[in-house]
Amino acid sequence: METLFPLEPVLPEGFIYQANFITDLEEAGLIGYIRSIKLDHCRFQGYEAKRRVASFGYDYSFDTGKLKKGEAIPAAFDGILAKLAHRLKIGQKAFAELLVTEYPPGSVINWHRDAPPFDLIAGISLLSDCIFKLRPYETGQAKRSARSLTVARRSLYVMQGEARSGWQHSISPVKELRYSITLRTLKNPS
C-alpha cells in the first residue's frame, strides 16, 4: 500500500543506520566491560552534564581547542572495532577515538556538531533506545528541516560527509539507563 507521506524520516546524505549491528551476546560483553571501567562526569565549557564518560585514544578539549592523545583504546573493544572497520571498509587503526558514555534516565545531549578535528562519527547504542535528532547547521533552515529517528539498542549509526559537516544532532532525554560507544576518525590522521 502506498502512503501519501513517507513513514521513515528522510535522513541527510552520509547518514547510515543499521539495526541489530551487534548481537545480544556482544552487547552483554561490552556492557560488562564498560561497567568495570572508571567513568567520569562529563564537563563541557565549565558545565557538568548529567552523563558520565571515558575517553580513549585522542580527545578534544573544548576549553583549549586542542586535540591530545590519551589512554590507548582497550583491547576489550577490538572485536567491535574490527566489525565496524569491516562494515565501513576502512582500516581498524583509522579509529582515533573511542568514547564510552553512560546516560542515566533524563539525560540529554543538546544540539551540536562533533569537534572539528574529527571526521567520520559512528555510534553504537547499548542497553536501551534513544531518540536521535538531526537538523541543518544553518539556523534559518533548522526548525522546518529537523528529523528524528529511534536509535535502537544494539544498532549502529554513522555520520560522514554532508551528515557530519552540514548537520547538527542531539539526543532527547533518555527514559532508561543507556550506554553508547562513539568512535571517531581524524580529518588529518598525520
SS3 of 180, please?
A: strand
Helix segments in 24-88, DSSP class H: 24-34, 78-88
C-alpha distances in Å from residue 99, one per residue of 20, 57, 136:
20, 9, 24
CA 13 to mean position of chain CA atoms: 17
Name the nearest CA neighbour of 179 among 9, 29, 44.
29
pLDDT-derived band at 110, boundaries 50, 70, 90: confident
What is the reported pLDDT for 93?
95
Name the nearest CA neighbour of 88 among 118, 122, 56, 132.
122
Non-local CB neighbours of 129 within 8 Å, separated by 6+ positions: 150, 151, 152, 153, 178
pLDDT-derived band at 123, boundaries 50, 70, 90: very high
Between 144 and 116, the higher pLDDT residue: 116
pLDDT of 45 > 60? The answer is no
pLDDT of 143 > 60? The answer is no
How far apart CA 154 and CA 135 sit, in angstroms, is 24
What is the reported pLDDT for 188?
82
pLDDT-derived band at 44, boundaries 50, 70, 90: low
Average pLDDT over residues 142-157: 86
Share of the chain above pLDDT 70, in %: 88
Cβ contact 68:59 at 8 Å: yes
Cβ contact 110:89 at 8 Å: no
What is the reported pLDDT for 72?
96
Mean pLDDT of the chain: 89
Name the nearest CA neighbour of 185 among 122, 105, 129, 127.
122
Q: Cell numbers 550506554 label which residue?
A: 179
DSSP assignment, residue 37?
S
What is the reported pLDDT for 94?
96
pLDDT of 181 > 80? The answer is yes
Average pLDDT over residues 91-97: 96
